[in-house]
Structure 1
């Protein structure tokens, strides 16, 4: 197991095939990470961590948790910091990069490395309502 490293990301998890599977949403402040996470949470996902996520590699997989100071809370822009249902730890299988524009229709597969683990990387404009479904579809293809 590697020592946990902080990543500027919001991480959410969903129960799939009996296990919790997480998606790490990447982007600068204001990119829409928390907004996309709140929409996923509204569809039954659980928050792992908002804005900063601690990740580590173990057994060939990447795992995530929240720093203690922010566990269980997410920023709802314009509303404030709110408490939501959480998942303490989850295995991360996909990274989503929030981009401010439409993406290519059929992009080449990309990856991003965290703690020596390569994750598939989905570039996504988080603003359209379909962004939630795009994350779900991308997760199903793994």
Structure 2
């Protein structure tokens, strides 16, 4: 967690702001991402799941999530994994709500509304691959 916070979020934040002072919103954004990651790891621990023991099936499940798996009811955001409904903690809920609104893949055709995937991939109509998710997780220190 420390590596993610310092080497990814904080370093990226400092690089983007340059010599300027941070705004309250910029500070809050970094805090929200770090808190969400921490809550997610805590939830996995409570559920008896460790990030290091994620299996290929876990990644496949995440890749195959569609927008319809996400339910937003007021301030509550939940995701359905198979038959299990998981209510997300507030910081993570904020990020998932943002992901649903701004998701886009690398494909140059179509719009986010044309693609059902929560994590759209580089090929039109296809989700992000599990190997791309692994690469992205490694890039942010997870």
TM-score, with length taken from structure 2: 0.28
Structure with the larger strand share: 1
Structure with the larger helix share: 2
TM-score, with length taken from structure 1: 0.28
